[in-house]
């Protein structure tokens, strides 16, 4: 069984056709990986915002823990700082997670 025709002109045409198909498959594979990497880069922005929000929230909670033992106002300060952390950093972390999720739920990204 022959894979290519015997006549030189037909053989060259068949080989060139195969080379074009292999080149197109390689190009589209590269393009798919590039798009996937780009979406990962965009999703990392959301992860960064989430991490920053968690850091802010943790800082407020740590500060609240330090003032908790202050007589008379310590408990109220702790509660106020913990609430402030949840309202600022907690909300920011939630928005970052939502942004990352939105990018990852994009149809072009759900293949990988």
> Over the stretch 45-100, which tens digit does the pLDDT of each residue have?
888 999 999 999 999 999 998 988 888 888 999 999 999 999 999 899 999 999 88
Radius of gyration of the chain (CA): 29
State residue 108's pLDDT score.
57
Per-domain boundaries in the chain: 36-112
Tens of pLDDT, residue by residue over 16-56, are: 999 999 999 999 999 999 988 888 888 888 889 999 999 99
Nearest to 94 by CA among 42, 62, 59, 52: 52
Q: How far is CA 105 from CA 35, 39, 43, 102, in A?
A: 14, 10, 10, 5
Per-residue pLDDT band at 111 (split at 50, 70, 90): very low
- Structure pTM? 0.61
């Amino acid at each position: 069984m022959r894979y290519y025709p015997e006549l030189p002109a037909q053989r060259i045409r068949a080989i060139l056709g195969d080379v074009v198909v292999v080149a197109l498959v390689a190009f589209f594979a590269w393009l798919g990986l590039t798009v996937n990497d780009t979406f990962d880069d965009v999703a990392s922005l959301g992860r960064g915002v989430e991490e920053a929000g968690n850091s802010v929230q943790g800082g407020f909670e740590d500060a609240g823990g330090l003032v908790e033992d202050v007589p008379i106002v310590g408990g109220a300060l702790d509660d106020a700082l913990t609430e402030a952390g949840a309202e600022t950093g907690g909300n920011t972390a939630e928005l970052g997670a939502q942004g990352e999720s939105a990018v990852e739920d994009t149809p072009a990204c759900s293949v990988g």
